[in-house]
Amino acid sequence: MTALRSLAAAGAALGLAGVVIAALGFSPVDALRALVAGSLGSTAAWTATLLKTGPLLLTGLSVALAFRCGVWNIGAEGQLLAGALAATALATRVAPEAPAALLLPLVALGGAAAAAALGALAGLLRATRGVSEVISTILLNFIAIQAVAWAVQGPLQEASGAYPQSDALPAAARLPALGRVHAGVWVAFAAALAAAWLLFRTPLGFRLRAVGLSPLAARFAGISPERHAVAAFAIAGALAGAAGAFEVAGVTGRLYQGLSPGYGYTAIAVALLARLHPLAVVPSALFFGALEAGAGAMQREAGIPSVATQVVQGVVILFSVGFALPRKAG
């Protein structure tokens, strides 16, 4: 039933997107063909889709886990950037000479830990001061964006000083890859399994769900909603931070502004389309990853201007979210 709704949402959204494209004077058939070919039609297309899916999967899980505990994490984008920033700092400044066996885990865990701290900050503000986490995570996004801008023009700028970007990460910090699909993507898939396990098969997950469904009943059962909000945010931050670390260590090889095309925001749609179920985040992230990858092809092959592809993506997001959410009771 739930899965059907989500499928219907995605399908209807694509249909409406076709109408929009037709209204703009392009052939929806050509556009769809380009979209499918560019996301699923070849090895290169699949690679592009998977590379987009990886960060969407991790940030989507980040948002879904936080929601499950009743807190809105709008800050996955900032947490992703914090992860990328920390990973770059560790790999290019702190331990550039370290061997891969040491540097890779350091980069991944360091990125996750930095973002977990950023997430936990939003949780702490909410738990101790009642600051709405929606507001604080949005604001922390801006701080993270500006921190990256400052770092790539300051302490982390490349040695040549030519561009506002970091040095290339040393080879030892680069994720191993199958073709171009780096290990981080596969870790992301594993993370979906791990998140489902955490939520449904561990005491912590049990308590997080209880708090998310009824903070009052949880409190009477001896579960502190405040503490668990902080915990949920730390876990959410770690997931999004890992996505950031994997982007610099697996895809871009450097830190620069605009590293993320808004993965952390699309993640909200990914999580909602998946109805907050960690395993359903996998197909949901694949769907949005394919859209992201196919949008480029649509632009190249069908000649549809980039603005139109953005409109299409927007329609899909609105539609899928509107459909996927349960009707408001009362």
Partner 1 sequence: MAAGEVHALLGENGAGKTTLMNVLLGLVRPDRGSLALGGRPVDLRAWGPRAARDAGVGMVHQHSTLVPAFRVEENLAFGEPEAGRWYRPRAARARAEALRERFGLDVPLGIPAELLSVGQQQRAEILRALGRGARVLALDEPTAALTPGEARALFPVLRRLAASGCAVIFISHKLEEIREVADRVTVLRRGRSEGTVDPRATDARSLGRMMLGRDPGERPGAAEAPAVPAPGAPPALAVRGLRAPGLREASALRDLSFEVAAGEIVGVAGIDGNGQRELEEVLAGVRRPSAGRLEVDGREVPFGTRALRARGVAHLSGDRARAGLVGGMSIAENLVLKGSYDDRRFFRTARYRAGAAVEYAARRIEAFGIVPPDPRRAVALLSGGNAQKVAVARELEGAPRALVAVNPTRGLDLGSTGFVHEQLLALKAGGSAILLISTELEEVLALAGRVLALVRGRLLPVPAGADRESLGAILLGEPAAETAA
Binding site for partner 1 (CB under 8 A): 200-203, 205-207, 209-210, 213-214, 216-223
User: Judged by CB, which is closer to partner 1: 203, or 330?
Assistant: 203
User: Judged by CB, which is closer to partner 1: 25, or 222?
Assistant: 222
Closest CB 127 distance from partner 1, rounded Å: 16
Closest CB 192 distance from partner 1, rounded Å: 18
Closest CB 206 distance from partner 1, rounded Å: 5
**Contacts for 151-159: CB closer than 8 Å, 24+ residues apart:** 151/85, 151/88, 151/89, 151/255, 152/255, 152/256, 152/257, 155/89, 155/93, 156/85, 156/88, 156/89, 156/92, 156/93, 156/255, 158/254
Is 6 within 8 Å of 284 (Cβ atoms)?
yes
Is 166 within 8 Å of 158 (Cβ atoms)?
yes
User: Judged by CB, which is closer to partner 1: 182, or 228?
Assistant: 228
User: Judged by CB, which is closer to partner 1: 99, or 203?
Assistant: 203
Closest CB 178 distance from partner 1, rounded Å: 31
Closest CB 289 distance from partner 1, rounded Å: 30
For Cα atoms 297, 301, 304, give the angle at the middle one, nearest 5 degrees: 85
Is 34 within 8 Å of 308 (Cβ atoms)?
no
User: Judged by CB, which is closer to partner 1: 163, or 197?
Assistant: 197
Dist CA 160 CA 173 (whole Å):
20
